Amino acid sequence: MMARSLRAHPRASGDVFRLINQLESPVPTGTIVSTPSASGAVSAAAAPIRVVHIITRLILGGAQENTLYTAIGQHRDPRFDVTLLCGVDEAGEGHMFEEAARAGVKTVVVPSLAREIRPLRDLKAVFDVYRFLKRGSYTIVHTHSSKAGIVGRLAAWAAGVPIVVHTLHSLVFHEFQSKWKNRLYIVLKRLCAPVTDTFISVSDSVGQAVLERGIGRPEQHLTIFSGFDLGLFLSVRDRLSVADAKRRLGLPPDAPVVGKIARLFPLKGHDEFLAAAAEIARAVPDVHFLLVGDGPLRDQLLADAARLGLGERVVMTGRVAPHTVPDCIQAMDVVVHTSLREGIARVLPQAGAVGKPVVTFAMDGAPEVIRDGISGYLVPPIDTAKIAERTIALLGDPERCRVFGEAGRTFAAEHFSIERMVERVNAVYVDLLRARARS
């Protein structure tokens, strides 16, 4: 096991104090940070803090949005010099490179970094990332997702990066995966724990599950909810009526609509959603169902919907741009979430921000966002009959839907802004730099 002391870095303690002072002294937007001294040299005391975020893929997904929004928020802060390093997407799940470019975030692609486990390629990825970090003289490496977390932290340790942070967006080990793969990931995560200064989990449930498997110590773990562009979601009802939102998606404007947002991939719970939909349709004859997202299960799910007698009641949008997600949620009267594995599904607070009630399995981080009987309903995992029962009740009670929706809006506005997330991440950096200065 690698000892914590092996990560000693040659930076002098004076440099560490300089970095702390920079982070604790916000600089107004537009201020010139690097200024020449009398000799014409740029003052070392004003040099920005070099941070690199590392993630396996920059696809359209919750972990990727979290990472990109954090990088963008820090890029806009002149105290930071931020780089986003990512691997390649081999599954064609869309990407956010254009959004990163528009925001001015430096993005580097490492072709050897990929999601699937391939030992030789993975060793090359460690070496490639190590070389990148060694050249860059970074102060902080912040890794995201399991593969990038393992590759990036090992590379950061080898390169002598002073501060290493890892965000846990979900659990890579779970009951729906082979035992050997679960054991491998747990062993690798335990191996990386001593070279990790702080673990950030997107939900308390994720952090607790990791601790129960002996990964890290309690004092290394904390929770920061994953922020998103709240303004887009909070304002949608002011610019788009529910009826118009339904029309745009090819839904009858007066029909009740039950929706789900998730990539059409295994473990996202679409089979469970359709099973509940069949029961809902028997009780609510004019109900329609909206599935937002795309993936390899599309044809199979359409066939399953036809087999269940849902036919034209199911509308699939395919892949949508992130900024149109609020419009899709606005078309839903009830949002149903049946995923079998998430940290905190972003659709839960996003649905709340739009003002929609949610029915979800009480799994993973869902109980931390949806308060049962207040902003939605939590039902036992895999209980599709209960999903149907609660959804039918809400479709028949518009006033309860309204009350639940308002509670969801309040909770989302308080806890899920990008600004709050970035401020809390920056505070983690300050604490770690301060601790290193004392050591």
Give the predicted TM-score (pTM) of the model: 0.86
CATH code reported for the domain at 4-227+418-438: 3.40.50.2000
Q: Sheet of 314-316: strands edge to edge?
A: 314-316, 288-292, 257-261, 334-337, 358-361, 376-379
State which amino acid sits at residue 135: R
Complete DSSP assignment for 292-313: EB--TTHHHHHHHHHHTT-GGG
* Delimiting residues of CATH 3.40.50.2000 domain(s) in the chain: 4-227+418-438, 230-415
Around Cβ 5, how many Cβ atoms within 10 Å? 8
CB 173 within 8 A of CB 185: yes
CB 203 within 8 A of CB 294: no
C-alpha 164, offset from chain centre: 19
One digit per residue, the tens of pLDDT, for the chain of length 439 reads 344 433 434 344 455 555 656 555 554 333 333 333 333 333 444 589 999 999 999 988 889 999 999 999 999 999 999 999 999 887 677 889 999 999 999 999 999 999 888 899 999 999 999 999 999 999 999 999 889 999 999 999 999 999 999 999 988 766 766 788 788 888 989 999 999 999 999 999 999 999 999 999 999 999 999 999 999 999 999 999 999 999 999 999 999 999 999 999 999 999 999 999 999 999 999 999 999 999 999 999 999 999 999 989 999 999 998 899 999 999 999 999 999 888 889 999 999 999 999 999 999 899 999 999 999 999 999 999 999 999 999 999 999 999 999 999 999 999 999 999 999 999 999 999 999 888 7
8-state DSSP, 371: P
Q: With H, G, I as helix, E, B as strand and everything else as coil, classify residue 1.
A: coil
Q: How far apart are CA 103 and CA 290, in angstroms?
A: 32
**Fold (topology level) of 230-415:** Rossmann fold (3.40.50)
